């Protein structure tokens, strides 16, 4: 039985219109869904349909033209920039297409930096990072720099980093889009396992229909709206 308390994220009638010049470009036009705790949602759709835009609205990196994003009981439209920054830090872990690891820091440091920056004591942040790096199977690479790691390994570090602040929601934007098939399968499986084992919710954007099938709820984004698939 699901009740409202099991809903983590609620998106209501979201729209996004760009008006770069004379013209109005409507990207999202009435996107609505609810995501439960521990639920995994996948979104596919052709290039340019608005998938990244949707993630940016959920994370408050971009503001909607209409509609509302509600996390637990927090309405994003009511928040100012510092509140949105705090919201992202507390609620969201990101995994992008490219890992965006800091080249001058080791794998372990990359994982624990967000926790340290959020004010967690160095020792406990490092300890949690060590647990996470173990879970992604890369403890032996803790002291290596990103340039010494493969693309797939960097993505696994990025997954661990996304989890360091213990956010309830992971947003992943084509996290394996940069990898060959063998590596992407490993990263995908690990992403799903980690999200599952850590009890997180997931919104995963992907071009890969096989990967999209792994979602508990599956949508395709076309003409500005989500359709079940
Ligand atoms: N600042 C902007 N001004 C005008 N149009 C924009 C702006 N940002 C994005 N767009 C347009 O919005 C549309 C959706 O972009 P978005 O990045 O969300 O697509 P996507 O589904 O993630 O595509 P891809 O699969 O290629 O990553 C695109 O047509 C893009 O050109
Ligand atoms: Mg995109």
Give residue-wise pLDDT tens across range 172-200: 999 988 788 878 888 888 899 999 999 99
* Residue 6 near residue 72 (C-beta atoms within 8 A): no
Query: Confidence class of residue 21 from pLDDT cuts 50, 70 and 90?
Result: confident
What is the pLDDT at residue 182? 79
Instruction: Provide the pLDDT for residue 181.
Output: 82
Average pLDDT over residues 66-71: 98
In the chain, the domains with their CATH numbers are 37-66+73-220 (3.40.50.300)
Which residue has better confidence, 8 or 118? 8
| pLDDT for residue 4 | 57
- For residues 147 and 163, what is the distance between their CA atoms, to the nearest angstrom? 22
| Phi, psi (deg, nearest 5) at residue 65 | -85, -25
> Quick one: how far is CA 101 from the chain centroid?
15
Evaluate: CB of 51 within 6 angstroms of ligand 1: yes
Predicted structure pTM score: 0.93
CA distance 15 to 133: 38
1 pLDDT exceeds 80?
Answer: no
pLDDT at residue 54, rounded to an integer: 98
Q: Which is more confident, 118 or 56?
A: 56
CA of 174 to the centre of ligand 2 (A): 7
Pairing of strands 66-71, 217-222: unpaired
CA of 58 to the centre of ligand 1 (A): 15
- Paired tokens of 209: 């229909």
User: Taking 80 as the threshold, does the pLDDT of residue 148 lie above it?
Assistant: yes
Nearest bound ligand to the CA of residue 173? 2
Q: Is the pLDDT of residue 3 over 60?
A: no
DSSP state of 2: -
| Ligand 1 centroid – CA 54 distance (Å) | 10
Nearest CA, atom 19, ligand 1: 48
């Amino acid at each position: 039985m699901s009740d409202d308390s099991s809903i983590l994220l609620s998106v209501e009638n979201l729209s996004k219109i760009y008006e770069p010049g004379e013209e109005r470009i409507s990207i999202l036009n009435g996107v609505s869904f609810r995501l439960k705790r521990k639920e995994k949602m996948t979104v596919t759709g052709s290039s340019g349909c608005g998938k990244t835009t949707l993630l940016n609205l959920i994370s408050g990196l971009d503001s909607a033209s209409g509609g509302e994003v509600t996390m637990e009981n927090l309405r994003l439209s009511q928040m100012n920039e510092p509140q949105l920054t705090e919201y992202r830090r507390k609620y969201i872990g990101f995994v992008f297409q490219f890992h965006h690891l800091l080249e001058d820091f080791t794998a372990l440091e990359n994982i624990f930096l967000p926790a340290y920056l959020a004010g967690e004591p160095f020792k406990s942040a490092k300890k949690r990072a060590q647990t996470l790096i173990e879970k992604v199977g890369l403890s032996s690479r803790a002291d290596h720099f990103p340039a010494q790691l493969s693309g797939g390994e960097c993505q696994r570090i990025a997954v661990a980093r996304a989890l360091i602040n213990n956010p309830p929601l992971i947003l992943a934007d084509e996290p394996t889009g940069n990898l060959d098939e063998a590596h992407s399968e490993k990263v995908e499986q690990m992403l799903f396992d980690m999200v599952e084992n850590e009890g997180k919710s997931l919104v995963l954007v992907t071009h890969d229909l096989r990967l999209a099938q792994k979602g508990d709820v599956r949508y395709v984004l076309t003409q500005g709206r989500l359709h079940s698939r």
